[in-house]
Amino acid sequence: MTTPIVIDCDPGHDDAIAILLALASPEVEPIGVTTVAGNQTLDKTTRNALVTLEVAGRGDIPVAAGAEAPLRRDLRTAAHVHGETGLDGPELPEPSERPVEAHAADFLAELIEPGVVLVPTGPLTNLALMLERHPDVPDRLERIVWMGGAIAEGNITPAAEFNAFVDPEAAATVFASGIPITMVGLDVTHKALFTRAHAERLRGAGRAGRFVAELSDFFQAFHERSYGFDGSPIHDAMAVAHVIDPTLMTTRGANVAIETRSDHCDGRTVVDLRGRTGRERNAEVGIDVDAERFLELLVTRIASLP
């Protein structure tokens, strides 16, 4: 069975790789891509989504641009991780396609019907706007699989993961919506590092493989410098992989609350794994992952692209 998915993203190296993994996988069918400001400004993340689709020869998949800024905060980008373009590393061609006219929040509402899984891999601003403008969506949206948050340490601050930190109000809205959410956080994504050896297996493959190898050269240099890692976590691809093969990651049901009013902890995803707060479960949270199988899936699938 093929699951239709919509990827709401801010490419971003790992967002681009997540899109390519989806395009290479028969278990899922990307029916649209929407973009949000996050890793870079909206014009750049939108351009990068168009470029990524075209690298895989899938410029036919519609792209809709969404929020230029978080709901109630100034945008904080991650240029220190993803560079000035948001996809530093490979030479980026000028995309030949244009985004559709509709705002991502409206386009998402149009695309969502029973059976479609929404896979956000950036700040949740577009999803929050969608819920505000289209309050009927929760009745037909079965599932969200979000890359974001952390049970333990954050990355943009000690307390917060980047996607949650950029727009905590949006994240709080989405986690309060009642829509089943799976949170694929840093606790699992940091367990699977894409190494230089993985990149070399892709460099000689097709155009998409070379593109991913060149993205990884840049992305990995950041993770070596900043974490001393011998590879880079391809965070966003793990959310797509969870839809492709749910046996890769184990999850636990928990309440997740998002901190929005703290000097030091804004954007923290407070995950109550042991029911200490008495708050109801509102998410399945990634606890562990079969890193080897995930990385093998990623490499072999992307190597199969032209």
Only one of the segments 7-15, 28-36, 195-203, 283-291 lies at the binding site for ligand BDR (rule: CB under 6 A); that segment is 7-15
Contact 276, 178 (CB under 8 A): no
Residue from 89, 122, 123, 168 in contact with Ca ion (CB under 5 A): 122
Q: State which of residues 8, 12, 25, 268 lies at the interface with ligand BDR (CB under 6 A).
A: 12
Q: Which of 49, 81, 109, 254 binds ligand BDR (CB under 6 A)?
A: 81
Whole-number Å distance between alpha carbons of 200 and 55 = 19
Q: Which of residues 170-229 bind ligand BDR (CB under 6 A)?
A: none
Is 147 one of the binding residues for ligand BDR (CB under 6 A)? yes
| 297 binds ligand BDR, rule: CB under 6 A | no
Interface with ligand BDR (CB under 6 A), residue from 162, 175, 218, 222: 162
Partner from ligand BDR, Ca ion, none contacting 162, C-beta within 5 to 8 A by type: ligand BDR
CA atoms within 13 A on the CB side of 180: 11
Cross-strand partners of 271: 256
**Rounded to the nearest 5 degrees, what angle is found at the Cα of 198, between the Cα atoms of 195 and 201?**
155
Q: CA 30 → CA 8, 70, 126, distances in Å?
A: 11, 25, 18
User: Total residues contacting ligand BDR (rule CB under 6 A)?
Assistant: 15
Binding residues for Ca ion restricted to 1-60, rule: CB under 5 A: 10, 12, 15
DSSP string computed for 123-172: -SHHHHHHHHH-TTHHHH--EEEEE---SS--SSSSS--HHHHH-HHHHH
Q: Where are the beta strands (DSSP E) in the chain?
A: 3-9, 28-35, 63-65, 117-120, 143-147, 181-184, 193-194, 232-233, 249-258, 269-272, 283-289
Give catalytic status of residue 134 as yes or no.
Answer: no
Provide the mask over 214-253, with x wherever binding to Ca ion is found by CB under 5 A and - wherever it is not: ----------------------x-----------------
The residues of the shown chain that bind ligand BDR, judged by CB under 6 A, are 12, 14-15, 39, 78, 81, 121-122, 147, 155, 161-163, 235-236
The residues of the shown chain that bind Ca ion, judged by CB under 5 A, are 10, 12, 15, 121-122, 236
